[in-house]
Amino acid sequence: MPDLKPFIVSGIALGGVFSLSGVGMTVLYQATGVLNLAYGAIGATGALVGWELIGNGMSNWLAYAIAIGFAAALSTLYGVVFGPLLAGRDALVKAMATLGFALILLGACFWHWSDDPRVLDLPTTAETYDVGGLRVNLTQVLALVFAAVLTAGTALFLRKARTGVALRSLAEDREISAILGIRVRRVEATAWLVSGLICGLSGLLLANLVRLEAGTLTFLVIASLAACTVGRFRSLALTLAGGLAIGIIEAVATPFQTVSPYRSAAPFLVAILVLLALGWRKTIVISEQRR
Amino acid sequence: MSAGVEPGALAPRALLARPRALAASLRAELFAGVFCLLVLLVIPPIANAFWLKACIAAVIAAISAGGGGLLYGRVGMVSLCQMSLVGVGGWICLRLGLGTSLPFPVLLVISGAVTALVGVFVGIPALRMTGLYFALVTLMAAGAFEVVFQTTGFPNGGAGPLGLISGFQARATMRRPAMAHSDAAFFRYAVVVAAIVFLLALLHLRTRPGRAWTAIRQSEAAALSCGVNVTLYRLWAFALASFGSGIAGALYVASVGSLDWGTVSARQSIVLFAAILMGGAYSLLGAVLAGALLELMPALFDTLNLSGNVVLILFGIGIVQVLATAPAGMAGQMKDGAMALRALALRKAARA
């Protein structure tokens, strides 16, 4: 039996980022009914912009800020332009449209930056601590801390803040919220902005923890999607737990030779098992008729 | 309500009308299909080697697009793992083709049948859920298939269950059917196979399954209350689409000789879905157009020395545009255009 502890540490860090983007996607889905499948592509574009700026000699922290801001801007732009256009449509159609956005961003990234794998060096990775004989770096700690803090913070925000309550009412019924005087478009834009900020942050972390390549990062959205599925696109706490579990399973499989090459299939297997468990009890789920 | 077509909400005009109109629309489709095939038969003598290869690829892509289009346009399901199933069909055809001396048509049928089984296996977890969940599960399945294909590779003539060669042996390539060795002959062979698969789909659409699918797409609840076995018919549609994908995979490996995981990646499945939307999901003509978009457009960009990534961007724009404004895709726009022309001609004739 190999020593699994180091793998668990890296698994928790990776899982933390999966949870982070899972939470961002769940909040957006709850508020606007859009399951943003372009989440990975937006994060990747932000991270690549940051990488380019650092290469051009910009100071690191400013570049990270711009990277996150760029991701948020992309997300908000899409939300403001296509959100109202597709607002009355089925959740499936909304999700498929974001897939188109993902292809556009992916093509643009490949075009401008090629698909060479790069690694974004965050200064926090060099900062290491010794925890009970394990080497843990600051990026890994940050990944977990961000995941936990943002999950709790978002949950609190949705419960207490005025905009948060407005978001929840939008999730319930867009038309009635509008009648009650909630500025639907502004609140939706806020949701796109917040989820874009989270997206930019997780893009930067993934570019460091995995690698900085548009294709890889775009399809890591599937892992976050798996985390959302565990949370049934509703519960933020379960999304956090799901993301962590997926990250740990994936990392712990690394030292075992027979399953190691297949470990990146872990998110799909977890999600499919959860879906099976969820779906088995119901005979049929008729798509929600929201209006 | 919005003007677009939702899976499960709105139907193209022809299907909402009386049964006779339904039959007429299907007949029109049949004519469109036959016309397309005739055009395709004329291509080999006039196309050069490069374009002929691209045309073969387009015909094969049209088969998988037909399956995906049937799922989206007729049943209201989005499958994002069609290319993975093409990979499954290709794997089986390579394994059997290199390991046995079965005749090619038998290989085609076996590849299609086994892929249909695999498709059923993938589809079962998701079929009891809503459309969005089905799309997500198939997307995740595409990701999982990609990991497996990337790790195990495709058979290349070795022994053992995976059919992989070890060391520096020469790689074997898949043979073509005896009667279709040249590119021109293989093109015709592919067109005939595509026609048979399309006819099979038409046969389904004109009989009981087609009516059940229409009912399901209009309203799952209503279909259920009419006694339509929703799960069975959705599974049936997915199996049929998987069968087509398997056939496409077998044809692909015969045309190229081998298969690479990048050809059947999750990204390619999404691109295929984009092409289906852009071509038009409601008709077989749309599938042919989707095949042409998928294979001829990159070839065109290649000859113009433009980056292939532009194609990716165009497909992305295509998805958003079709979903937002033109639900019936290019085939629908062509049909509308043709009807407008006919109306114009009739008005002129009446005035004369």
Q: What is the pLDDT, as a whole number, of residue A1? A: 65
Residue A279 has pLDDT above 90, yes or no: no
* Nearest chain A alpha carbon to B5: A89
3 state DSSP class of A134: strand
Cα angle at A264 between A45 and A51, to 5 degrees? 25
B250 in contact with A, Cβ within 8 Å? no
Chain A residues in contact with B310 by the CB 8 A cut-off are 107, 111
Q: What is the pLDDT, as a whole number, of residue A31? A: 83
For the stretch B60-89, pLDDT in tens is: 999 999 999 998 888 888 899 999 999 999
For the stretch B188-217, pLDDT in tens is: 889 889 988 988 998 898 889 989 998 888
Residue B24 pLDDT level (bands cut at 50, 70, 90): low
Q: What is the pLDDT, as a whole number, of residue A79? A: 92
Task: Determine, for residues A284 and B128 on separate chains, whether the beta-carbon distance falls below 8 Å.
Answer: yes
Residues of B (53-92) whose Cβ lies below 8 Å from A: 78, 80
Residue A198 has pLDDT above 50, yes or no: yes
pLDDT average, residue stretch B5-15? 44
Output the average pLDDT for chain B.
82
Structural domains counted in chain A: 1
Class of domain B13-265: mainly alpha
* Nearest chain A alpha carbon to B141: A268
State the smallest CA–CA distance between residue B271 and chain A in angstroms: 8
| Residue B107 and residue B166 in contact, taking contact as beta carbons nearer than 8 Å | no
Residue B122 has pLDDT above 90, yes or no: no
State the smallest CA–CA distance between residue A229 and chain B in angstroms: 9
Most confident by average pLDDT, A112-126, B151-165, B209-223: B209-223
Q: What is the pLDDT, as a whole number, of residue A74? A: 95
B223 in contact with A, Cβ within 8 Å? no
Among the partner-chain residues B143, B267, B317, the one whose CB lies closest to the CB of A215 is: B267
Residue B23 has pLDDT above 70, yes or no: no
Q: What is the CATH number of the domain that holds A128?
A: 1.10.3470
Q: Which residues contact residue A152 at a Cβ distance below 8 angstroms, ignoring those fewer than 6 apart?
A: none
Q: How far apart are CA A236 and CA A61, in angstroms?
A: 29
B294 in contact with A, Cβ within 8 Å? no
Chain B residues in contact with A90 by the CB 8 A cut-off are 6-9, 131
Residue B22 has pLDDT above 80, yes or no: no
In a domain, A288, yes or no: no
Q: What is the pLDDT, as a whole number, of residue B18? A: 47
Residue B13 pLDDT level (bands cut at 50, 70, 90): very low
pLDDT average, residue stretch B135-146? 88
In a domain, A196, yes or no: yes
In a domain, A287, yes or no: no
Chain B residues in contact with A269 by the CB 8 A cut-off are 144
* In chain B, domain spans: 13-265
Q: How far apart are CA B273 and CA B271, in angstroms?
A: 5
* Nearest chain A alpha carbon to B271: A103
Q: For A286, which DSSP code? A: P
* Nearest chain A alpha carbon to B132: A92
Q: What is the largest distance, in Å, between two alpha-carbon atoms of chain B?
A: 79
Residues of B (307-336) whose Cβ lies below 8 Å from A: 307, 309-320, 323-324
Among the partner-chain residues B8, B310, B316, the one whose CB lies closest to the CB of A287 is: B8
Please give the residue range of the domain that contains residue A90.
5-281
Residue B32 pLDDT level (bands cut at 50, 70, 90): low
B100 in contact with A, Cβ within 8 Å? no
Q: How far apart are CA A210 and CA B241, in angstroms?
A: 35
Residue B324 has pLDDT above 80, yes or no: yes
- Token pair, residue B104, equals 């090619």
Looking at per-residue pLDDT, the higher value among A267 and A284 belongs to: A267
Task: Determine, for residues A284 and B230 on separate chains, whether the beta-carbon distance falls below 8 Å.
Answer: yes
User: Alpha-carbon torsion B87, B98, B183, B304, what sign?
Assistant: positive
Residue B313 has pLDDT above 60, yes or no: yes
Residue pairs between chains A and B whose CB atoms are closer than 8 Å: 165
Residues of A (223-242) whose Cβ lies below 8 Å from B: 225-226, 229
Q: For A118, which DSSP code? A: B
Among the partner-chain residues A88, A267, A272, the one whose CB lies closest to the CB of B2 is: A88
